[in-house]
């Protein structure tokens, strides 16, 4: 059972039938093979400073080109990896590849890289030292790395997760809260996690603009963030009108198809070179 998510990927939705479990099992084996044979790649999407128009950072997004199914959505295969004990390997692969690429980019641009991290990875006792090792191996300056976590970490709100985030913050790694407002948002947690340096407002609010309520919510998030000294990113900007509303709200950074779609590393490198030259 497949459904097009509208992002040009295949996602699996129905959970209740045997057919679905069979597919999940097959995909799980395929994912293991893909991790071994490098069928996985990273796409990169720039994040722009709204005031200056400069590329502030680049988000790494995992891509899986399945031999028979074609492109499988990261939402699907990340969930499979989480359920089948492969998320640590997938996560480490993404982190290492993104840091290696970003280390190369330092020669042409002062940009950071953002890597998505699953809540399950954060619960692994060795996660912080794995990040330190990747930074040492790739030579990426620690201040260039940002880890995007989602509100699902609140579900695993343990001392261990808090300690890991605090330790990463002390090392100089940025912690960003992705998809803010999509799930388990709570002011309690925003207060309990002072290590978060950036909020990424969930795309649903951006895409509901122009509109009175989404604009009010976006403005409120920007005010709260700035009062906390937290940077705000508007994600999923698809139109000029949305971008303008975001700018008017005082939002710091913007990301979305209207500005630039995720591309392969080579195209991203060209974009960084051209922008420096121009
Ligand atoms: P995310 O981290 O919130 O990433 C943003 C998603 O929005 C990406 O989808 C991106 O392609 C898409 N996007 C960007 N601009 C626009 C826009 O203007 N309009 C629309 N409709 N979409 C836009 P993608 O690449 O399919 O990734 C989906 C999710 O999968 C990510 O959401 C992230 O949660 C997860 N993911 C991707 N790569 C990894 C990874 O390496 N590790 C982990 N744990 N999760 C990952
Ligand atoms: Mg993200
Ligand atoms: Mg997001
Ligand atoms: Mg500003």
Strands 253-255 and 40-49: antiparallel
Peptide bond into 210 cis (omega under 30): yes
Between the CA of 10 and the centroid of ligand 4 the distance, in Å, is 36
Q: In 38-158, where does DSSP find H-type helix?
A: 74-83, 87-105, 119-122, 127-138
Run of H or E including 112: strand 112-116
Between the CA of 178 and the centroid of ligand 3 the distance, in Å, is 5
Between the CA of 231 and the centroid of ligand 4 the distance, in Å, is 9
149: phi > 0 → left, psi -120 to 50 → alpha, else beta; which?
beta
Run of H or E including 61: strand 55-66
Mean pLDDT of the chain: 90
The complex's ipTM? 0.98
Ligand 1 atom closest to 62 (CA): 38
Mind listing the pLDDT tens digit for each residue in 40-94? 999 999 999 999 999 999 999 999 999 888 999 999 999 999 999 999 999 999 9
Strands 174-180 and 196-201: parallel
Mind listing the pLDDT tens digit for each residue in 144-175? 999 999 888 877 778 888 999 999 999 999 99
pLDDT for the residue numbered 11: 54
pLDDT of 1 above 50: no
Which residue reads 């995992």 in tokens? 62
Ligand nearest to the CA of 152: 1
Between the CA of 169 and the centroid of ligand 1 the distance, in Å, is 23
Nearest CA to ligand 1 atom 8: 61
Nearest CA to ligand 1 atom 15: 256
Q: Which of 10, 61, 149, 156 to mutate to test the pocket of ligand 1 (most atoms within 8 A of CB)?
A: 61
Query: Cα–Cα distance between 115 and 176 in angstroms, integer?
Result: 10
- Is residue 86 within 8 A of residue 35, CB to CB? The reply is yes
pLDDT for the residue numbered 17: 73
Q: How many Cβ atoms sit within 10 Å of the Cβ of residue 229?
A: 8
pLDDT for the residue numbered 10: 52
Q: What percent of the chain has pLDDT over 90?
A: 73
pLDDT classification of 230: cutoffs 50, 70, 90: very high
> pTM here?
0.92
């Amino acid at each position: 059972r497949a459904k097009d998510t509208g992002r040009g990927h295949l996602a699996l939705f129905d959970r209740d039938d045997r057919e679905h479990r069979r597919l999940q099992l097959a995909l799980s084996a395929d994912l293991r093979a893909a991790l071994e044979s490098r069928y996985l790649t990273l796409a990169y999407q720039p994040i722009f400073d709204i005031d200056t128009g400069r590329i502030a950072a680049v988000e790494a997004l995992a891509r899986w080109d399945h031999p028979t199914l074609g492109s499988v959505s990261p939402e699907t295969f990340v969930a499979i990896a989480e359920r089948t004990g492969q998320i640590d390997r997938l996560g480490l692969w993404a982190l290492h590849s993104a840091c290696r690429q970003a280390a190369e980019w330092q020669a042409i641009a002062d940009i950071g890289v953002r890597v998505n991290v699953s809540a399950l990875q954060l619960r692994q006792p060795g996660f912080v030292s794995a990040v330190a090792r990747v930074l040492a191996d790739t030579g990426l300056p620690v201040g260039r790395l940002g880890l995007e976590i989602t509100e699902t970490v609140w579900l695993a709100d343990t001392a261990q997760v808090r300690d890991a985030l605090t330790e990463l913050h002390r090392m100089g790694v940025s912690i960003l809260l992705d998809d803010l407002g999509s799930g388990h948002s709570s002011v309690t947690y925003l207060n309990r996690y002072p290590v978060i340096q950036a909020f990424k407002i969930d795309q649903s609010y951006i895409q509901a603009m122009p509109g009175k309520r989404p604009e009010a919510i976006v403005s409120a998030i920007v005010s709260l963030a700035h009062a906390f000294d937290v940077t705000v990113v508007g994600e999923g900007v698809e139109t000029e009108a949305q971008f303008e509303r975001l700018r008017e709200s005082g939002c710091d950074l913007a990301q979305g198809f209207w500005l630039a779609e995720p591309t392969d590393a080579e195209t991203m490198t060209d974009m960084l070179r051209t922008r420096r030259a121009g």
